[in-house]
Chains A and B, each alone.
Chain A
Amino acid sequence: DVKVTQSSRYLVKRTGEKVFLECVQDMDHENMFWYRQDPGLGLRLIYFSYDVKMKEKGDIPEGYSVSREKKERFSLILESTSTNQTSMYLCASSFPSGGGIEETQYFGPGTRLLVL
């Protein structure tokens, strides 16, 4: 079974604090993704990475950065949190694009972040 784990399930931070969210997958997937989930908006892609040290912006990258130093690990960084970053953050991983089963994304359990 594919396993995607996230470092924290719940976090409470104050405005302006720095936050690291870490995601680890054990299936040797090349692709990794960070989403945020808000009621009524579904999942929105923040950043993704298709290889070590490679990253691309998703649909809502503002206020976020990422790091991928090892294949299995993808970190989301909030340099200076704001209240509008209160959300559920989901990490996912998949094999490279090439059609077929490789397109399936596997998700971690999520981190619920509250910024006060």
Chain B
Amino acid sequence: AQSVTQPDIHITVSEGASLELRCNYSYGATPYLFWYVQSPGQGLQLLLKYFSGDTLVQGIKGFEAEFKRSQSSFNLRKPSVHWSDAAEYFCAVGPYSSASKIIFGSGTRLSIRP
């Protein structure tokens, strides 16, 4: 069955430090993979997505993610975080079933230490 695991519920990093958010998935074929960000009280915004090709994907706001098939992972990275990056981050995988449904992880909340 398809599933997505984000093992870290809450992460705190210092402003200017590097960031890596973990995502592991279970999927029967080559997946489509997504990272979304949700600022407090807002909807979800797409950061980046992987469909095929280069396994290192660049997104908005200076984020990138690397698809590692052997590890079933799609970790999100940023070399230097800013206070405005404080938000909740969701990894997602799909599609499943006959429609464009995707499965979301439970999210990782990122806090930034001044």
Contact with B along A26-51 (1 / 0, CB 8 A): 00000101010000111101001010
CB-CB under 8 A for A102 and B43, given A40-B9, A43-B90? no
Q: How far is the CB of B28 from chain A (nearest CB, A)?
A: 16
A58 contacts across to B, CB distance below 8 A:
101
Binding site for A on B (CB under 8 A): 9, 32, 34, 36, 41-46, 49, 51, 90, 94-95, 98-102, 104-107
Q: Which 6 residue pairs of A and B lie closest in terms of their CB atoms, listed nearest first?
A: A107-B43, A42-B106, A43-B104, A107-B44, A97-B100, A109-B43
Seen from chain A, the residues whose Cβ lies within 8 Å of a Cβ on chain B are 4, 31, 33, 35, 40-43, 45, 48, 50, 56, 58, 90, 92, 94-97, 99-110, 112
B95 contacts A97, C-beta separation under 8 Å:
yes
Task: Give the secondary structure class of B's interface.
Answer: strand
Q: Are B99 and A31 in contact (CB under 8 A)?
A: yes
Partner of A90, one of B9, B34, B43: B43
Chain B proximity of A113: nearest CB distance (Å): 14
Query: Of A42, A45, A99, which contacts B90 at CB under 8 A?
Result: A42
- Asked if A41 and B106 sit within 8 Å, CB to CB, the answer is yes
Check A103 against B102 for contact (C-beta < 8 Å): yes
Contacts known (A42-B106, A50-B99); A106 close to B46, Cβ less than 8 A: yes
Q: Among B43, B45, B105, which residue has the most Cβ atoms of chain A within 10 A?
A: B43
**A104, B34: Cβ atoms closer than 8 Å:** yes
The residues of A that contact B44 with a CB separation of less than 8 Å are 43, 90, 92, 107
